Amino acid sequence: MLRVWNINRRDIPPAALIPITRRFIMENTTLHILDEGMSPQEIAAATVCCKLGPKIVTTTEGN
Amino acid sequence: MPLTRYHLAVPLSNDPGRLLLFSTAKASLATLDRTIYQRLTQNETPPEGLRRDLERLGLWVADLESDEAAMLRFTDEINQARRKASVSVILGMACNFACRYCYEGEMKATAAAMTDDTVCQAVRFLVDWCRKLGMERLVLSFYGGEPLLYPHLIRRFATRLKPALAAEGIGFGFTLVTNGSLLTPQLIEEFVSLGLLGIKPTIDGPAECHNQTRPYKNGAPSFTAIVDNLLAVCKLTRVDLGGNFTRDTWQRFPELLDQLSVSGLGPEQLGQVNFSAAMGVTDLIANTGFTYGCASVNELWHAEAVVSLREAILSRGFKSAKVSASLCMADVDDALVIHHDGGLYKCPALIGHKEYQAGDIWDGPLEVARVYAVGHWQRQAKCRQCRFLPLCLGGCRYAAYQRHGDLSAVDCQYEYFEAALPGLLDQELRYRHGDRLEEADSRIKGEG
C-alpha cells in the first residue's frame, strides 16, 4: 500500500497512514514533489555566497 | 538510466518507509517510498510518469558519465545566467570594534581609507565592467573596517554610480556589512534614497557572549547599543542578522533570539538570520591571539551546532537561508572585491594578501583563474564523484589557505555535509513544506 505521512503532525500514529487513491497509483505519483528546485538562472540570482569561514552552504539573499 | 550521483536520500523522521530525496545540484526536494527508491538504485527502469518527474527534478539522468560531464559545466551555466554583478567595496580599515576573531587583524592599525581619486576610478571601472559583462544590475556591498565610519565615501559612490549606471540601463543598489554601532534612522533614510537595499549586522549571541567577542576598541560592551540601533532602523530597511559562534558559545545563541524578540526585534522585524562559526585563522595578518576558532567545517561539533542553531532560528519563526548550491566568489565571473587601494580580489578575507591580488581598478581583473585556482575541484576525481559537490565546489579557498598555505588545495567538506545535511533537509521539510504536505493530506483524504 502506498502512503503519505505528514511528518509535521507528529501526534498521528502510524496506524493512521493514509492510503493513496487508485488514481494516484495509476499516475505513478509515488513521488511527492515538494520543491521543483532551482534553475541555473535562479541559483545565479541568489547572488554570490561568500563562504568566508565555515558556514552552511546557503544562498545569501532571496527567500 | 540511473539516479544522479548528486543526490541524497534520507529516511523521513516519522516514516522510515519513505525517503526524502534531495538533488544537491538543483535543490529539488521530494519524498518517495523506500522500496521504490531501492529498485531505482538497482537500475530498474521506473514507469514513464515517475521517470519524467525524476528527470524534471534533476534526480534521473541518462548515465553517470553525462551526469559528471554536466557537473563540469555547472559553474559555467550559472555564470552565463547571471545578470547581477556583486562587488564588495572595502572603504577603509578603520573600525571602532576590536572583534577577537577579526581576520583583518593588523591591517586595521593603519586605518587607511579609499581616496576620492580611487572612488572616481572605481566608479569608472564598475560602469565599464558592468557594460562589458552585459549586467542588468550592480549590487555593492560596503565593507571595512566599519563602513559607517566612511559615510562620505558611501555617498560619493552612490551619487556617482546610480546615474552613470542608469545611463547604461543598469540598475544599482547597495548593502552595508556593519557592526551596527553607528546606525541612525537619519543615515539609513538618506542611504535608502541612494539605493540602500539592506544591512547585515552581526551579534554574537546573548549580551555576555557578544560583549566578549565584539567589544568596542576600548573594551566597552557593544550589545545594547547595537540592539537599540537595530530597533530604530528595522522599519526603514531590511536587516539580515548574522552571528559568529565558537564551540564554547553556540549553545547560548538561542538565548539571543529570545532576547531580541522580547526587545521588539522579532521575526517580523528581521530578514534572514544566519549564524556561522568564527573561523580559526593562522596567517600573519590575522589576530594571532584568537586560537579557538573553527579550523574546519568537518570538526565534529560543527554540524551539530549548525543544525541546532538553524532549528532554533526556524522554530521561533525567524527566516533562514534555503539549502542550495552556491558559488564561491572566486568561481563567479561578475563578483569582485575592491580594496581601498584599488586592488581587486576575489575573496574579502584575502584583502591585503598581495599574492592574491588579481588586478586593479585601473587595468581591470588580471589572472583571476590562475591566482584563485578556478575550477580546482574539477581536477579531483573524488570531488567530481562526490554527491555533495554542487554544495561544496571545492569548499572555502580561505580555509584552504589557512590550513595549507595554498588556496588551490581543495577544502573537502564531505564529513560536514554527511553529518549536517539530513538535519538541514528535515528542517526544509518541516518549516518550508509543511503546508504543502498538509494540503496533499487533505486532498488524498478527500479523494479516499
Q: How many CB pairs under 8 A join A and B?
A: 220
Name residue, grid cell 556561522: B276
Q: A17 contacts in B (CB within 8 Å)?
A: 15
Give me the residue from A3, A56, A63 closest to B420, CB to CB. Answer: A56
Q: A15 contacts in B (CB within 8 Å)?
A: none
Q: B53 contacts in A (CB within 8 Å)?
A: 31, 33
pLDDT tier, B282 (very low <50, low <70, confident <90, very high otherwise): confident
Cell numbers for A50: 561568500
To the nearest whole angstrom, how far is the Cα of B330 from the nearest Cα of chain A? 9
**For residue A49, pLDDT beyond 60:** no
Q: What pLDDT does A56 receive?
A: 38
**Cβ distance of B399 and A23 shorter than 8 Å:** no
Q: What pLDDT does B43 receive?
A: 77
CA gyration radius for chain B? 23
**Cβ distance of B319 and A23 shorter than 8 Å:** no
Cell numbers for B126: 564598475
What is the distance between the alpha carbons of residues B250 and B305, in angstroms, rounded to a whole number?
6
Q: Average pLDDT over chain B, rounded to whole?
A: 92
Q: A21 contacts in B (CB within 8 Å)?
A: 444, 447-448
Q: What is the DSSP string of B136-161?
A: SEEEEEEESS-GGG-HHHHHHHHHHH
What is the distance between the alpha carbons of residues B324 and A61, in angstroms, rounded to a whole number?
12
Q: What is the mean pLDDT of residues B199-224?
A: 97
Phi, psi of B82 (to 5 degrees): -75, 135
CA B38 to chain centre: 35
Q: A7 contacts in B (CB within 8 Å)?
A: 12-15, 429-430, 437
Instruction: Please report, for chain A, how many H helices and E strands are present, in that order.
Output: 2, 3
**For residue A46, pLDDT beyond 80:** no
What is the distance between the alpha carbons of residues B104 and B413, in angstroms, rounded to a whole number?
25
**Cβ distance of B29 and A50 shorter than 8 Å:** no
Q: What pLDDT does A22 receive?
A: 30
Give me the residue from B12, B80, B348 closest to A7, CB to CB. Answer: B12
B276 DSSP 8-state letter: E
Phi, psi of B137 (to 5 degrees): -155, 145
**Cβ distance of A38 and B274 shorter than 8 Å:** no
What is the distance between the alpha carbons of residues B108 and B20, in angstroms, rounded to a whole number?
47
pLDDT tier, A43 (very low <50, low <70, confident <90, very high otherwise): confident
pLDDT tier, A10 (very low <50, low <70, confident <90, very high otherwise): very low
Q: Which residue has the higher pLDDT, A55 or B386?
A: B386
Q: Which residue has the higher pLDDT, A48 or B342?
A: B342
What is the distance between the alpha carbons of residues B37 and B34, in angstroms, rounded to a whole number?
5
Q: What is the DSSP string of B84-129?
A: EEEEEEE-BS--SB--TT-TTGGGGGG--B--HHHHHHHHHHHHHH
Q: What is the mean pLDDT of residues B217-227?
A: 97
pLDDT tier, B286 (very low <50, low <70, confident <90, very high otherwise): confident
Task: Among A12, A23, A41, A43, pick the best mutation site for testing chain B contact (most B Cβ within 10 A).
Answer: A43
What is the distance between the alpha carbons of residues B178 and B143, in angstroms, rounded to a whole number?
7
Q: What is the mean pLDDT of residues B22-47?
A: 91
Q: A1 contacts in B (CB within 8 Å)?
A: none
**Cβ distance of B448 and A19 shorter than 8 Å:** yes
What sign for the dihedral angle of Cα B122, B123, B128, B132?
A: positive
What is the distance between the alpha carbons of residues B322 and B411, in angstroms, rounded to a whole number?
22
Q: Which of A16-20, B385-389, B423-427 has the lowest mean pLDDT?
A: A16-20
What is the distance between the alpha carbons of residues B191 and B14, in angstroms, rounded to a whole number?
48
For residues B326 and B25, is the Cβ–Cβ distance under 8 A? no
Q: What pLDDT does B434 receive?
A: 76
Nearest to A24 by CA among A35, A33, A12, A14: A33
Name residue, grid cell 560543527: B302
What is the distance between the alpha carbons of residues B346 and B401, in angstroms, rounded to a whole number?
13
**Cβ distance of B441 and A38 shorter than 8 Å:** no
**For residue B6, pLDDT beyond 90:** yes
**Cβ distance of B325 and A56 shorter than 8 Å:** no
For residues A52 and B396, is the Cβ–Cβ distance under 8 A? yes
Distances (CA, A) of B414 to B79, B197, B391: 25, 35, 10
Q: What is the mean pLDDT of residues B153-161?
A: 98
Name residue, grid cell 560536514: B416
CA gyration radius for chain A? 19
3-state SS, residue B436: helix
Distances (CA, A) of B333 to B31, B78, B150, B370: 35, 10, 28, 13
Helix axes B185-194, B151-166, angle to 10 degrees: 20
What is the distance between the alpha carbons of residues B278 and B106, in angstroms, rounded to a whole number?
18
Q: Which residue has the higher pLDDT, A20 or B210?
A: B210
**Cβ distance of A4 and B433 shorter than 8 Å:** no
Name residue, grid cell 579557498: B397
Q: What is the mean pLDDT of residues B37-47?
A: 87
**Cβ distance of B326 and A10 shorter than 8 Å:** no
B297 DSSP 8-state letter: T
Q: Which of B130-144, B286-300, B368-382 has the lowest mean pLDDT?
A: B286-300
**For residue A27, pLDDT beyond 50:** no
CB atoms within 10 A of CB B339: 25
**Cβ distance of B46 and A4 shorter than 8 Å:** no
Question: Residue B362 corresponds to which amino acid?
Answer: W
Phi, psi of B257 (to 5 degrees): -60, -40
What is the distance between the alpha carbons of residues B28 and A19, in angstroms, rounded to a whole number?
25
To the nearest whole angstrom, how far is the Cα of A59 from the nearest Cα of chain B? 6
Q: A46 contacts in B (CB within 8 Å)?
A: 324, 326
What percentage of chain B reaches a pLDDT higher than 70? 96
CA neighbours closer than 13 Å in the CB half-sphere of residue B354: 1
B84-90 and B29-33 strand pairing: unpaired
Task: Among B3, B6, B26, pick the best mutation site for testing chain A contact (most A Cβ within 10 A).
Answer: B26
